[in-house]
Structure 1
Amino acid sequence: MSTGPGPVFDLELARKALESQPFSRLLQARITEFGDDAATLELDIRPELHQQNGFLHGGVLAYAADNALTFAAGAALGPSVLTSGFSIQYVRPAQGATLAARAQVVSAGRRQAVVRVDLVVRDEDGAEKLCAVAQGTVLTV
């Protein structure tokens, strides 16, 4: 994510940055929370995002983790940031109506942030299950 220099990075600018990403538009992702060194990215789970066993594809989970951690770091460091690297651990197959990737900065300096992400799936009744955790490093550009 990189929106260049400009006003303070807020929820409106975060949503515009997400909307400028063609892949995020394809997945119909949305930012539902942003600020205080945190961000939440959500997307509705649709059949075309499943793998062969009917679970949400791991690549979609990895996308959500990557983007959420970068946006959380952007809340701490400013909008001109890129993911340096991340790891993801799948806890259980993702099945539900909505995926939420909740990212929180755990450490930030002037040029780098380390971020943790919890990925949960919500069913139609709003019950949540943890399906993956991720951690990554984000650098200013």
Structure 2
Amino acid sequence: MGELDLESARGTLASQPFSRLLDARITAFGDGGAVLELDIREELLQQNGFVHGGVLAYAADNALTFAAGTALGSAVLTSGFSIQYVRPATGRTLVARATVVHGGRRQATVRCDLFTRDGDGGEKLCAVAQGTVLSAVSTGPS
């Protein structure tokens, strides 16, 4: 994430082949938070016409990690996260809003709310996630 600003966050996201495949974008980054968005298209749906759970998990994981980067620095890795699907995801855009709940020197706890946005800008909560992100910077011998 380089200098830890919106443009460097966008550069980092663009360097991820899978994020490019999904055409994901960072729309906000800084002050303990990050927002990741992607357009919902047919290739991202499951058999019932809802956004596939794997796409929601991808968005949560990346948003959690980017938000943690605002607190821990650019070298971060998701240690683990859980996700609860609360409503089938339908709409035009998937929005993942992540916020650092608690940050230390080497670890952050982050929450992510996932919404779908319709054509009129209305949003519906479809999933919530929480995770732990670790600084990947070594502080010395283990």
TM-score normalised by L of structure 2: 0.94
- 2:24 maps to which residue? 29
Q: Give yes or no for the alignment of 1:133 onto 2:128.
A: yes
Q: Structure 1 vs Structure 2: percent identity of aligned residues?
A: 76
2:13 equivalent to 1:18? yes
Aligned counterparts of 2:77 and 2:7: Cα–Cα separation in 1: 19
Q: Deviations for 1:84-130, whole angstroms, at most 9, x for unmatched residues?
A: 00000000000000000000000000000000000000000100000
Match of 2:47 in 1: 52
Confirm or deny that 1:121 pairs with 2:116. Answer: yes
1:93 equivalent in structure 2: 88
What is the aligned counterpart of 1:80 among 75, 79, 96?
Answer: 75
What TM-score results when the alignment is normalised by the length of structure 1? 0.95
| C-alpha distance in 2 between matches for 1:106 and 1:99 | 22
RMSD: 0.7
Q: Deviations over 1:2-26 (max 9, x none)?
A: x5xx5x3111110000000000000
Instruction: Give 3-state SS (helix, strand or coil) of 2:65's partner.
Output: helix
How many residue pairs get matched?
136
The runs of 5 or more residues in structure 2 that have no matched partner are 137-142
Question: Given residue 91 of structure 1, which amino acid in structure 2 is its aligned partner?
Answer: V
